[in-house]
A and B are shown apart, each in its own frame.
Chain A
């Protein structure tokens, strides 16, 4: 039987994190980019939970709960901002953000 070690969790979270980073880089839809960022934050949570298990204390899990709470607050504000942008522009494509030079 294969034992699940912290290394396995690290590989999982590194994979999730990379998917998130690549998503931010290549996708053009603001909502999808935002979802990719959430994926990065969830990679952080996997890390924290795994390390918490490894050290046999709850600090990491408390940290993860804070990350989840902050991600939720950020999502609320972020979606509001994206909505305000959509109302003026009728699009959520990041290439259409061209009022100012990038």
Chain B
């Protein structure tokens, strides 16, 4: 067995190293600058994220296993890392004005955002149970703190406590399942797991382990019936954190899910497909029906994101390369639609207005037509109306399901999309047809304007011209298939 790591191992995790160094740099800059110059921190954070992005770009065609089989540096990981960095960039852009209004400590805030991003990146490239779980916890612990970042605010306290308790509980379930998988196979490497377990007979213990892992991941992606934490956490957490949580954490958890089930347990597909089938149907139905009655926008978007987890699970059930491609496309498009919607909500937060109730949107069109039109696009896109990005994403997901023979699942998905239009359109009704809401004027800071523009551009451009995105996702999805070939390449 070779001792130690080679230089290539360090090169392969260069983006992660840059991000780690950058996160520490943010803390140092926070200490060294005066209180009035804290605006600098946002710039440093943006710089760190852009540097990470640049360090990531050379890895677009790489397909290798690094750190003695702990990490896979492949197209799949590359695509997801791109999604996480994009999410973090837009989140940081929309945070600066919010931090000022709430009077938050910017240094720790940006540091934790970067830490969460780092955890997500390890979740996407981890192919060892230990790496995956450490990445998951790096992300989750950062999010526990971020959810409770408004210390004097009771809602934020509650959100943090609930998220922490249910997050730790789900970690217990997930780890117990993982320990059983390790016990039955004698390896923690996901790809070896596939070859070892495939030749074994199935027993009750394996089923227990599988159910535990599904339940643990179910909590992380907020699928019904493991969704109880989501509405409260989304409502209580600071709005930019909610945005980051609902997009980044969801995408990372789906990356982890795909790694574990498509690479690690593909031979058990006949057992986990029905489980995810049920989760998908329940998430879509319960999420959409509960969202109908909400009066708080953040809570409504929470239930909508539960429903979206259901749509995404359709891609898992399809269990095909087309399904994975569709999920990756949907997740990237979801970044634009969901972050855009949250950016508008963040903008509504002013000195005298909390800005998270539906009525705060009243008459938005008459005072701020640009913001209202942007919100209209995001809502239609989330609802999946053509020709928006959301329609394209749903189209691919449902067609992947039909191709794999799950026609009923696609039908239920389409019906649910129709239901969801009601509450998305309701937001539009408030913006166009209600009396203007009171409160001080809304000012979009330059960084907020950039965040909105990026989100809107993504949602519009990829809705009418999705070809490059489709090609990228299709190419990236290929690396998750060839399991047996990759196992022999391990450098143990």
Asked whether B157 lies within 8 Å of A89 as measured between CB atoms, the reply is: yes
Given contacts A44-B176, A77-B145, contact A88 B161 (CB under 8 A): no
Asked whether A34 lies within 8 Å of B232 as measured between CB atoms, the reply is: no
Q: Which of B83-91, B96-104, B182-190, B466-474 contacts A (4 or more CB under 8 A)?
A: B182-190
Contact of A51 among B137, B165, B182, B232 (CB under 8 A): B182
Asked whether B168 lies within 8 Å of A47 as measured between CB atoms, the reply is: no
**B172: A residues at CB distance < 8 A:** 17, 20, 37, 40-41, 43-44
Q: Does A84 contact B (CB under 8 A)?
A: yes
**B130: A residues at CB distance < 8 A:** 62-63, 66
For the complex, would chain A's binding face be called helix, strand, loop or mixed by DSSP majority?
Answer: helix
Which A residues from 47 to 78 make CB contacts under 8 A with B? 47-48, 50-51, 54-55, 57, 59-60, 62-63, 66-67, 70, 73-74, 77-78
CA distance A66 to B135 in the complex (A): 12
Asked whether A102 lies within 8 Å of B228 as measured between CB atoms, the reply is: yes
**B159: A residues at CB distance < 8 A:** 100
Q: How far, in Å, is B369 (CB) from chain A's closest CB?
A: 33
**A88: B residues at CB distance < 8 A:** 152, 154, 157
Q: How far, in Å, is A82 (CB) from chain B's closest CB?
A: 6
Asked whether A77 lies within 8 Å of B141 as measured between CB atoms, the reply is: yes
CA distance A85 to B253 in the complex (A): 27
Asked whether B148 lies within 8 Å of A43 as measured between CB atoms, the reply is: no
Q: Does B79 contact A (CB under 8 A)?
A: no
CA distance A40 to B212 in the complex (A): 12
Asked whether B180 lies within 8 Å of A37 as measured between CB atoms, the reply is: no
Asked whether A74 lies within 8 Å of B137 as measured between CB atoms, the reply is: yes
Q: Does A26 contact B (CB under 8 A)?
A: no
Asked whether A47 lies within 8 Å of B180 as measured between CB atoms, the reply is: yes
Contact of B154 among A10, A63, A78, A89 (CB under 8 A): A89
Asked whether A81 lies within 8 Å of B161 as measured between CB atoms, the reply is: yes
CA distance A44 to B155 in the complex (A): 33
Contact of A74 among B129, B141, B173, B179 (CB under 8 A): B141
CA distance A88 to B155 in the complex (A): 10
**B155: A residues at CB distance < 8 A:** 99-100
Q: How far, in Å, is A13 (CB) from chain B's closest CB?
A: 8
Q: Does A12 contact B (CB under 8 A)?
A: no
CA distance A55 to B185 in the complex (A): 9
CA distance A37 to B134 in the complex (A): 18
Asked whether A81 lies within 8 Å of B145 as measured between CB atoms, the reply is: yes
Q: How far, in Å, is A57 (CB) from chain B's closest CB?
A: 8
A44: nearest chain-B partner, CB-CB:
B175
Q: How far, in Å, is B356 (CB) from chain A's closest CB?
A: 12
Q: How far, in Å, is B396 (CB) from chain A's closest CB?
A: 35
Q: Does A22 contact B (CB under 8 A)?
A: no
Which A residues from 1 to 30 make CB contacts under 8 A with B? 6, 10, 17, 20, 24, 30
Asked whether A48 lies within 8 Å of B161 as measured between CB atoms, the reply is: no
B142: nearest chain-A partner, CB-CB:
A77
Q: Does B368 contact A (CB under 8 A)?
A: no
Asked whether B165 lies within 8 Å of A30 as measured between CB atoms, the reply is: yes
**A44: B residues at CB distance < 8 A:** 172, 175-176, 178-179
Q: Does B151 contact A (CB under 8 A)?
A: yes
CA distance A89 to B148 in the complex (A): 14
| Chain A residues close to B by CB (< 8 Å) | 6, 10, 17, 20, 24, 30, 33-34, 37, 40-41, 43-44, 47-48, 50-51, 54-55, 57, 59-60, 62-63, 66-67, 70, 73-74, 77-78, 80-82, 84-85, 88-89, 94, 97, 99-102
| Chain B residues close to A by CB (< 8 Å) | 129-130, 133-134, 137, 141, 144-145, 148, 151-152, 154-155, 157-162, 164-165, 168-169, 171-173, 175-176, 178-180, 182-183, 186-188, 205, 228, 231-232, 235-236
Other 16 A-B pairs with CB < 8 A, given A43-B176, A47-B176, A60-B182: A30-B161, A37-B165, A37-B172, A44-B175, A48-B179, A59-B187, A59-B188, A63-B188, A70-B133, A73-B141, A74-B137, A77-B164, A81-B161, A82-B161, A85-B161, A88-B157
Return the 7 tightest CB-CB contacts between A and B, nearest first. A40-B172, A51-B183, A47-B179, A85-B157, A55-B186, A44-B175, A81-B160
CB-defined A-B contacts under 8 Å, sample of 19:
A40-B172, A41-B171, A44-B175, A51-B179, A55-B186, A60-B183, A70-B171, A74-B141, A74-B144, A77-B141, A77-B145, A81-B160, A81-B161, A84-B160, A97-B161, A99-B155, A100-B158, A100-B159, A100-B231
